[in-house]
Amino acid sequence: MASIEGGGDSGGHKKGPGVKKAKRMSTRVDMTPMVDLGFLLITFFIFTATMSSPTTMDLNMPKDTDKQEEETKVKQSGALTIMLGKNNNVYYYEGELEANGANFKATDFAGIRKEIIRKKKDVIAAYRGDAACEQKAREKGKDPKAECQDQDLVVVIKPMNEATYKNTVDILDEMTINAVKRFAMVKISDTERDLVNMTEGNAPASK
Amino acid sequence: MPSIKMPKKSTDTDMTPFVDIAFLILSFFIMATKFKPEEPVKVETPNSVSSDILKESNAMLITIDKDSKVYVNFSSVNDANKDKLGTIIDGVATSRGIALTDAEKQNFKGAPILGVPFASLKSYLDIPNAQQGATPQPGIPVLDSLNNELIWWIAETKKAFAGEKLLYLIKGDNTSKYPTFEAVINALRRNEEFKYNLITAQEGAPEGTELFIQRLQKSK
């Protein structure tokens, strides 16, 4: 305990007439300024602290190729195209875009996850076995079914010019979260851009 | 009326445990704090579920700020490789036909961050390093695909670090627009570079998703 009481003055001996009574000082120290300073420093360090160190997200882009046979084939049944619009809007369609835009739907970032999960389930349900792929997986010592059942799922990401960098990172993150193995970032086509613009209530771009 | 005598209690509280805790917390924060390095360009990075910690090694950092302006810097280059910065600026000066003095080249090595078009590179490098941070910069032009100046910066950096591992870090602001990011990627692709690291802040995997289940199984 820091508070040690001084002995007090009571019950002392009678001193001689010439002896002055020594003034007893209390040994108790006022700690308040020290506490003040302590908390001041704590607040300072809390505010300047960088607790989380930055992490990195790996991004691998494919090489451009002119050769037809090197291009990745996408099965229409397993394709999900996601477009990122302005104000965090997300648009998507499955397979090929119908001429009247009937399968073109709007959602947001919370909704797109459900859609990806649903699409993945559909693809897995439609899996009928692929001998070549399963053989490859077996050679690598992996579970052939788990490796191959979602191989047809391809997510095509098409960010619009109004989409922010955060949107792009978020959708790439969504691929990691839902374990989508195959996805691509592609430039948006004019038809799709017009559709999004129409949905957002703008006139189709003249370009 | 008989008065009830209340025992007098001291209003003094013993502060010692309080002080103990305060200093314990204080020492924790002193030890846990790593000071933020001075950032000439403020960038708020998006969150991602990625848990790979950023490695401090040879890296070319491409920054995109909130106004979609592009900057480069080589802040994380090891001291042993600092002379490579000289090779980069020499290469840029030669290939773009900019006459730089030795003092200006020396200035480049200490520059905090660089976001000027080649046309004003010389005048920017005339500013002392200490004042460069406070000087507003227009950003490296990237959006014009015919005049994407970032391509040249990457090409010279790649040349200088030939045979060594070099990371391409992209640090983008939340609100920067996608076309700029695309232009940066295109500049890297033009240089036959296909692997990049996007700098993000960490967040946990959302509950119930596949990644969440995967990580749960791994930790068991």
CA distance B116 to A19: 85
Comparison of pLDDT for A10 and A159, the residue scoring more:
A159
Q: What is the pLDDT of residue A205?
A: 45
* Separation between Cα atoms, residue A174 and residue A177, nearest integer Å: 5
Interface of A with B in 97-116 (CB under 8 A): 113
Q: A163 to each of A60, A168, B89, B157, B178, how far by Cα in Å? A: 20, 7, 34, 30, 5
The predicted pLDDT at position B33 comes to 75
Task: Specify the pLDDT at position A106.
Answer: 86
Residues of chain A contacting residue B50, judged by C-beta atoms under 8 Å apart:
55-58, 173, 176
Q: Report ipTM (2 d.p.).
A: 0.76
Lookup: tokens for B79: 């001291």
Q: For chain A, give the mean pLDDT.
A: 77
Note the pLDDT of residue B56.
Answer: 67
Pick B33's closest partner by Cβ from A45, A57, A172: A45
Over range A52-77, report the average pLDDT.
71
Model pLDDT, residue B28: 87
Q: What's the pLDDT score for residue A206?
A: 41
Instruction: Please indicate whether, in this complex, the C-beta atoms of B198 and A164 are within 8 angstroms of each other.
Output: no
> pLDDT band at residue A9, thresholds of 50, 70 and 90?
very low
pLDDT interval class at A4 (50, 70, 90): very low
Closest chain A C-alpha to B207 CA, distance in angstroms: 10
With CB atoms and an 8 Å threshold, state whether A169 touches B48.
yes
Residue B72 has a pLDDT of: 87
Q: What is the mean pLDDT of residues A34-61?
A: 80
Q: Do B51 and A55 touch (CB under 8 A)?
A: yes
Task: Give yes or no for A52 touching B (CB within 8 A).
Answer: yes
Cβ of residue A54 closer than 8 Å to a chain B Cβ: yes
Residue of A nearest to B14 (CA): A3
Q: Please tell me the predicted confidence (pLDDT) of residue A10.
A: 46
Q: What does residue B115 show for φ and ψ, rounded to 5 degrees?
A: -145, 55
pTM for the complete prediction? 0.74
Q: CA B69, CA B59: separation in Å to the nearest integer?
A: 20
Divide the 220 residues of chain B into consecutive groups of 10 and give the mean pLDDT of each group.
72 80 87 70 83 77 88 73 80 83 83 84 84 82 82 86 83 89 87 85 81 82
B146: amino acid identity, one letter? L
